[in-house]
Structure 1
Amino acid sequence: MPSTARASRLLRAGFAAMLAVAVLLPPLGASAQQPASRELPDVADVVDKVIDAVVYISTTARVEAKGQMPQLPPGSPFEEFFEEFFKKHGGEGNNPLDPHRQRRQTSLGSGFVIDPSGIIVTNNHVVEEADEIFVTFNDTTRLKAEVIGRDSKIDIAVLKVKADKPLKAVKLGDSDKLRLGEWVIAIGNPFGLGGTVTLGIVSARNRDISAGPYDNFIQTDAAINRGNSGGPLFSLKGEVVGINTAIISPSGGSIGIGFSVPSATASPVVEQLRNFGETRRGWIGVRIQQVTDEIAEGLAMGKANGALIAGVTDNGPAAKAGLKAGDVIVRFDGRDVKEMRDLPRVVAATPIGKSVEIAFLRGGKEQSAKVMVDRLEEAEKQAALDKPAPQQAPAAEQPGKVLGLELSTLTDELRKRFKIKDTVKGVAVTGVDRDSPASEKGLQPGQVIVEVAQEQVASPADVQRRLDALKKEGRKSVLILVANADGELRFVAVAAR
């Protein structure tokens, strides 16, 4: 029996040890060092502080109505009946038989007050072409608004209302300080429901969704729907860090992918619209494109970075400074240009009239130049006024075939067939082999080869000579500058077979 008693004591000790282990061990599948639980943020106080500054915008516009009388067989007894009915009951401007008949179209959006005097920010597309704009506040006060400035390039508009008392306002914060995963709050007017609050995080930054030349959107999973456009995206400090502008959604509703214009991008534009009623962006007169690995190899660059100049505006700041097509801008006014889309934003934000230093690569070597920044809007107006003078077409030359391309000198007949402008000079592409490297890069009949390896060409023989020289140098690809019928340029790197 002593052995039995000893066994019993050991059994009790074993159970106690198992219980101790059970208390100390984490649940199945959990980490041994599980961090303390983190609750969702309480945003009620933030919302209370800012919601009176959020407004709901409704607009009306007159648009041409597409309507017509029912299609009836000629001579039908109903034809005369319907015609008389529509003329009698359609009313002035509403007759379906009138090709200029109009109807009133309404739209809804959101916005926010940035100045107690009645200055409101929203999206340009919310108020674009509107005949009347009304702003409704959280206390249901409804005021008529007027547009004091708009900018389609980043989709911003600034409105003004006349209120009989100072309005609740919020301030634009610093979106550059946002971190991935940071909590943000969207408030707006989705589907016309009025003050709606949604919570999410910053999913990504610097998103390019091809909405404009200065895309660098904040992506968020805070629910954003139709009607949220122009509304604020708040930080937990109650500062506006973004302006809700777009969503990706097959259904039209939120699927957790929304985009906001960063406050850092919007702030200078808002100030310009308030002060001048228009934007005043910097401009240096270059057309640029992305540097791919193949283009980098064709330009003898070590790695793909910077903004490749595809064309230079005649007598523009860059042209006066000596920059030309094929140069790659890698720094602008001391700021690195890591990729193409960095350059338009930094140039646009540069004060007009400032002399800046540009670092660029030419022939694989870095050089620098001083450029005087001009005004974009003035350049756009001038470009619209300028009309190109006709150029004499070169003498015709027998077509040739290079890189799977059927080439010919530009003649009047080819210009007419492909509607190529007189200002475009080079070698015409008249055919493309479907399985050729050129076809893979998107070259098409009607385009014009302007340069091969940064040397101008005027005939198929010129193209062939340049290609032969590059092959002797051991180049794996050939860099071609191609123009479309309107003269817009881009570089293409084609395998040198």
Structure 2
Amino acid sequence: MKRLSSLFLVSLLSGATTLGAYKLFIEKGNSRDGLVTLAPNYGTRTVGMGAENIDFTAAADNAVHTVVHVKNVSVRTVYDPIREFFYGSRGGIQQEQVGTGSGVIISQDGYIVTNNHVIKDASELEVTLNNKKVYKAKLIGTDAKMDLALLKIDADEKLPFATFADSDQVKVGEWVLAVGNPYNLTSTVTAGIVSAKARNLDTNGIQSFIQTDAAVNPGNSGGALVNTKGELVGINTMISSPTGSYAGYSFAIPSNITRKIIEDIMEFGNVQRGVLGAVGNELNGTTAKQLGLKQTEGYYITNVIENSGAAKAGIKKGDIIVKLDNQKITSYSELNGYINTKRPNDKVNVTIIRDGSTKIVPVTLIKNDLMNTEFRGMELENINAGDKKRFNIESGVKIKDITNERLLPYKDELIGSVILRIDNANATDIETVSKILGNKDDREGASVQLITKNGQVLRFII
């Protein structure tokens, strides 16, 4: 379990391990691709009731049978410098580590969704069902950015599985249950309400959590957040805590994002990310006043990425996005959360305010890998899986070409290098870089940290 600190001190809830690919069954009543099962009332609003009128027992009974205990075993090498010095022993000592977490069965033939951090670096995976049966599990695929992983077990029976609710329809104040295995206590159910939606914790990946006050602790990672009908509305992932244990709030990846990612893994073997290509800042009273705007809600565009869907559709700097399809947009996390449910070539109706007038602009999303941007005479593009492995990095943007006269003498060395940070902010991808640049004056200097083709880390001001 890792502890992350920013504005929140966020603790990832479980151990670590890894997994790899398969094909899911097609069942009547599933989603458009037949990969997960949707709740019968998918897309309709649930009418809330007072606590005294709600019976949690049916939802708990449904959910506990679909939530599993995930045990991961990893091996690490421990080096002993004293032993090396006196006895000449090299190579270190192999030590076995065991981590635990939770998972949710999503099909009767044994597909299970959990968190990527639960299974990261695993050499062996074991799943225990609610009925105490134990199975070896294999990894189908992962999405480290969204902290999700898909596992498969070969059970000797048809398994109970979770149905997916529409997380866009979840309401703040709605009752939810968190089901998982905290501290190895199996089949634990806690209740709370949805405290907030589209919560942004600046984790460089997930930007649209469901926040709840249902008690969640280490071991709950990968477990289910369900509504009062027992339908899956999220995958429990993080807590906000100064100690690493529950301290009031927990966070779940919405079911709509989860569904889209696991369907991508099953169909394509990887996650298909559709990108709008317009970056900026969310509006509030203060920023609206600074910009001289009457509009105080929405997403203010500071930069449009070249060749993106937004650019081709005519969206401009200064436009204010207030709606995507029928989804109201008041923050980046809401915008990002909705786009994360889409694929490249999906069409989204973007409602914008421009010069006081409202208009709807249809935008075709493009693939994340196809985006590029220009920064101070350097053409940048997103890195691919090969770049990540070669440089041993998780994120960055690669220099594709050089047009800056001052940098031309170093062109051969710079092309192919990867920018890691700009002004102490991680250059996660083209969208992140465009957002950084959108808040900078062209006359301002920028601090750049990069790793060259030969692995040397350099820092300079441009």
TM-score bracket for the superposition, by shorter chain length = 0.5 to 0.7
Residues in 2 aligned to 1:116 and 1:312: alpha-carbon distance in whole angstroms? 45
Residues in 2 aligned to 1:334 and 1:180: alpha-carbon distance in whole angstroms? 18
Extract unaligned runs of 5+ from structure 1: 1-36, 71-79, 88-94, 395-410, 430-446, 459-480, 488-497
Instruction: Report % sequence identity.
Output: 33
In structure 2, the CA distance between the partners of 1:106 and 1:42, relative to structure 1 (3 Å rule), is same
Residues in 2 aligned to 1:329 and 1:482: alpha-carbon distance in whole angstroms? 30
Q: Following TM superposition, by how much is the alpha carbon of 1:360 offset from its aligned partner in structure 2, in angstroms?
A: 3.7
Aligned residues: 363
In structure 2, the CA distance between the partners of 1:67 and 1:41, relative to structure 1 (3 Å rule), is farther
Q: For 1:363-442, list aligned pairs within 5 A.
A: 369-377=361-369, 379=371, 383-384=382-383, 387-393=399-405
Q: Is the 8 A contact 2:199 2:333 kept in 1?
A: no
Q: Give 1 or 2: higher helix fraction.
A: 1
Counterpart position of 2:178: 186
Which residue among 188, 191, 211 is the counterpart of 1:199?
Answer: 191
**Is 1:485 paired with 2:448?**
yes
Residues in 2 aligned to 1:41 and 1:366: alpha-carbon distance in whole angstroms? 42
In structure 2, the CA distance between the partners of 1:355 and 1:189, relative to structure 1 (3 Å rule), is closer
Q: For 1:308-327, list aligned pairs within 5 A.
A: 308-327=300-319
**Is 1:286 paired with 2:278?**
yes
Q: Is the 8 A contact 1:355 1:371 kept in 2?
A: yes
In structure 2, the CA distance between the partners of 1:39 and 1:329, relative to structure 1 (3 Å rule), is closer
Q: Following TM superposition, by how much is the alpha carbon of 1:135 offset from its aligned partner in structure 2, in angstroms?
A: 0.6
Q: Following TM superposition, by how much is the alpha carbon of 1:484 offset from its aligned partner in structure 2, in angstroms?
A: 5.2
Residues in 2 aligned to 1:422 and 1:155: alpha-carbon distance in whole angstroms? 27
Which residue among 77, 81, 86 is the counterpart of 1:83?
Answer: 86
In structure 2, the CA distance between the partners of 1:105 and 1:339, relative to structure 1 (3 Å rule), is same
Q: Is the 8 A contact 2:369 2:382 kept in 1?
A: no
TM-score by length of 2: 0.66
Q: Is the 8 A contact 1:281 1:375 kept in 2?
A: yes
Where 1:387 maps in the other structure, the secondary structure is strand
In structure 2, the CA distance between the partners of 1:422 and 1:391, relative to structure 1 (3 Å rule), is farther
Extract unaligned runs of 5+ from structure 2: 1-49, 373-379, 385-397, 424-435, 451-462
Residues in 2 aligned to 1:38 and 1:287: alpha-carbon distance in whole angstroms? 41
Q: Following TM superposition, by how much is the alpha carbon of 1:150 offset from its aligned partner in structure 2, in angstroms?
A: 1.9
Q: Is the 8 A contact 1:448 1:483 kept in 2?
A: no
In structure 2, the CA distance between the partners of 1:181 and 1:327, relative to structure 1 (3 Å rule), is closer
Which residue among 51, 60, 81 is the counterpart of 2:73?
Answer: 60
Which residue among 134, 139, 146 is the counterpart of 2:126?
Answer: 134
Residues in 2 aligned to 1:46 and 1:337: alpha-carbon distance in whole angstroms? 31
Counterpart position of 1:344: 336
Greater relative contact order structure (CA < 8 Å, 6+ sep): 2
Q: Is the 8 A contact 2:305 2:311 kept in 1?
A: yes
Q: For 1:4-403, list aligned pairs within 5 A.
A: 39=52, 43-65=56-78, 67-69=80-82, 83-84=86-87, 95=89, 97-98=90-91, 102-333=94-325, 335-361=327-353, 369-377=361-369, 379=371, 383-384=382-383, 387-393=399-405
Residues in 2 aligned to 1:224 and 1:274: alpha-carbon distance in whole angstroms? 29
Q: Which has the larger radius of gyration?
A: 1
In structure 2, the CA distance between the partners of 1:183 and 1:323, relative to structure 1 (3 Å rule), is closer
Q: Following TM superposition, by how much is the alpha carbon of 1:47 offset from its aligned partner in structure 2, in angstroms?
A: 3.4
Counterpart position of 1:403: none
Where 2:321 maps in the other structure, the secondary structure is strand
Residues in 2 aligned to 1:334 and 1:233: alpha-carbon distance in whole angstroms? 25
In structure 2, the CA distance between the partners of 1:361 and 1:388, relative to structure 1 (3 Å rule), is farther
Where 1:237 maps in the other structure, the secondary structure is coil
Residues in 2 aligned to 1:231 and 1:150: alpha-carbon distance in whole angstroms? 16
Q: What letter is aligned with 2:86? A: E
